[in-house]
Structure 1
């Protein structure tokens, strides 16, 4: 686990090993989420990169609208 420090301008630096593992790039946007005192940074993914990610998905267990309530 890495430790970071908040600067006087409230900025943080993401450790190199995390940036490389998640393939983060300069100017990439991150969503900031807080829940129960825990801060999470979630990289935004371009919509184009999601094209076809469910290709070949098994649709046999999908629920109908009436069953969703």
Structure 2
């Protein structure tokens, strides 16, 4: 288990070995999610990483679409 400390500037350092294991890089953005008293940091994917992830998706019968009938 790893620990870190919140600085007076409200910053948190992630240990280097975790950054390497998770392929994190300096300047990377994170989404913060709270679950009760738990804070989860989720790396925000880049646009390049998101390219093509919906390839082949079928847009028919989505409930938020209005019917043309």
TM more than 0.5: yes
Q: Distance in 2 between matches of 1:65 and 1:52?
A: 20
Q: Does 1:2 align with 2:10?
A: no
- Give the SS at the match of 1:20: helix
Offset of residue 21 of structure 1: 1.1
Offset of residue 30 of structure 1: 0.7
**RMSD over aligned Cα, in angstroms?**
2.2
Which structure shows the higher helix fraction?
Answer: 1
Gap regions ≥5 residues in structure 2: 64-69
Q: Which residue of 2 aligns with 1:20?
A: 20
Superposed counterparts of 1:1-69, under 5 Å: 1-53=1-53, 64-65=61-62
**Stretches of 4+ moved more than 2 A in 1?**
50-56
TM-score (norm 1): 0.70
TM-score (norm 2): 0.70
Gap regions ≥5 residues in structure 1: none
